[in-house]
């Protein structure tokens, strides 16, 4: 970012459509690999998708092994165990399948196959991405939720053993080479997970659009993603089998993650400790904090937030009100207290939130006291 230059890139090949998952073996072989590690979690195994992907790979001439040891909020040990499995299998490619956690873990497993330093050294908060080279093995991503957009994102989030903090690792070399977006894989997602993951996508679009920095393509994509969320999130929650709504939310999630290469904001800094400390679902944590952050950002991003209000809900008086209305419409709780977060949690949460890198691109600078106040405003 020195000398006033900015970099804009959207290089992942994205294959969209029902049954796109059945092209997985061709895609892996197209990347020059004949052995793949399928990275997923217990939930992906339980619904049969891990076995389906493994069988599709084998039928297409790719020797596949399933590694399902990824926690709901991935920890460092998951990544290191995945590297062992990758080496034992002699894999040449990672096929990451699932929600954000397996996709992030899959990318970080690929990173660690060729990068020997401890994961903490690659922390975006210490500009560790500069240590990441292009020799990361290829990754194919197959999302089974519509939210994180990790399938096209260039970051992985992992809780480190030494600090207990959710840590963002960020590099263009972590981008998947191919993402297979198959709306049919999201059809069985329960309504509450659909709502929470959808709110993660919405938060990515909103925070990216309002974030500091000059990125007209990211801005346009963020607005397009918000339009898809406004039109399809409630429909996907109400009618889980509606593949058009499911597909639209997959597009919105993908677009949110493309857009947030520009940057995110304070809401994500508040959300990360809520997951690592209190176990909240990431999308739900964003949904609960977003209105307070939007209100806080109004003085610094008034015109942009007005555009977001017009997309989400023309009848709302403020953008925060539009967000609250949609959150209620999709059946999510209205505050952190409903999730067992109390005032006593605020100091520890805030200490972690201020260390998180996301708020650096928030349109209005935040202090420790601001973040603590934002948590309290979200009760």
Site residues, Fe ion (CB under 5 A): 200
Residue nearest to Fe ion (CB): 200
CB of 285 to Fe ion, least distance (A): 9
Nearest-5° angle of CA 274, CA 280, CA 282? Answer: 85
Contacts of 379 (CB under 8 A, 6+ apart): 335, 336, 337, 341, 343
Taking the complex as a whole, the smallest distance from the CB of residue 257 to Fe ion amounts, in Å, to 8
**Of 123 and 200, CB closest to Fe ion:** 200
Max CA pair span of the chain: 58
CB 99 within 8 A of CB 119: no
Nearest distance from residue 82's CB to Fe ion, in Å?
Answer: 22
Q: Closest CB to Fe ion among 301 and 358?
A: 358
Tell me the HSE value of 251 on the side-chain side, using a 13 A CA sphere. 20
Nearest to 326 by CA among 311, 342, 338: 311
**Minimum CB–partner distance for residue 282 and Fe ion (Å):** 6
- Cβ count within 10 A of residue 301: 23
**Nearest residue to 253 via CA among 193, 167, 323:** 193
Whichever of 137 and 224 has its CB closer to Fe ion, that residue is: 224
> Which of 39/206 has CB closer to Fe ion?
206
The count of residues in the chain is 379
Q: Which is nearer to Fe ion, 199 or 296 (CB)?
A: 199
Q: Which is nearer to Fe ion, 115 or 154 (CB)?
A: 154
At closest approach, how far in Å is the CB of 157 from Fe ion?
8
Neighbours of 172 (CB within 10 A): 14
Closest approach of Cβ 207 to Fe ion, in Å? 9
φ/ψ (deg, to 5) at 8: -120, 120
Q: Please report where in the chains the tokens 């599709």 appear, as a residue.
A: 56
**Nearer Cβ to Fe ion, position 53 or 357?**
357
For residue 106, how many C-alpha atoms fall within 13 Å in the half-sphere facing its CB?
37
Q: Give the integer Cα–Cα distance in Å for 335 and 342.
A: 11
CB distance 74 to 107 below 8 Å: no
Nearest distance in Å: CB 36, Fe ion: 27
């Amino acid at each position: 970012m020195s000398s006033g230059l900015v970099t804009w890139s959207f290089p992942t090949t994205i294959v969209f459509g029902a049954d796109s998952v059945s092209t997985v073996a061709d895609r892996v072989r197209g990347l020059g690999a004949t052995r793949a590690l399928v990275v997923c979690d217990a939930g992906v195994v339980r619904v049969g998708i891990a076995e389906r992907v493994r069988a599709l790979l084998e039928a297409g001439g790719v020797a596949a092994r399933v590694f399902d040891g990824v926690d709901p909020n991935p920890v460092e040990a998951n990544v290191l165990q995945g590297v062992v499995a990758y080496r034992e299998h002699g894999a040449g490619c990672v096929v990451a399948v699932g929600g954000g956690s397996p996709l992030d873990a899959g990318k970080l497993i690929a990173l660690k196959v060729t990068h020997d330093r401890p994961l903490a050294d690659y922390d975006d908060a210490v500009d560790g991405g500069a240590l990441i080279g292009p020799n990361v093995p290829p990754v194919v991503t197959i999302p089974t939720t519509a939210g994180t957009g990790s399938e096209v994102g260039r970051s992985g989030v992992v809780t480190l053993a030494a600090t207990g903090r959710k840590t963002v690792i960020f590099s263009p070399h972590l981008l998947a080479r191919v993402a297979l977006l198959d709306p049919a894989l999201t059809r069985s997602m329960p309504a509450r997970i659909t709502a929470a993951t959808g709110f993660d996508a919405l938060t990515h679009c909103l925070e990216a659009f309002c974030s500091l920095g000059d990125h007209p393509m990211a801005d346009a994509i963020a607005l397009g993603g918000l339009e898809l969320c406004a039109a399809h999130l409630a429909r996907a929650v109400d009618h889980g089998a509606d593949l058009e709504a499911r597909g639209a939310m997959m597009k919105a999630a993908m677009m949110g993650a493309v857009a947030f290469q520009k940057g995110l904001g304070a809401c994500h800094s508040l959300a990360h400790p809520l997951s690592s400390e209190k176990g909240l679902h990431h999308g739900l944590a964003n949904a609960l904090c977003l209105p307070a952050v939007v209100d806080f950002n109004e003085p610094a991003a008034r015109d942009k937030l007005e555009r977001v209000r017009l997309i989400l809900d023309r009848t709302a008086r403020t953008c925060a009100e539009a967000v609250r209305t949609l959150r209620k419409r999709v059946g999510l709780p209205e505050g952190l207290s409903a999730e067992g977060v109390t005032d006593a949690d605020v100091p520890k949460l805030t200490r972690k939130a201020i260390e998180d890198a996301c708020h650096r691109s928030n349109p209005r600078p935040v202090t420790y006291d601001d973040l603590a106040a934002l948590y309290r405003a979200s009760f």
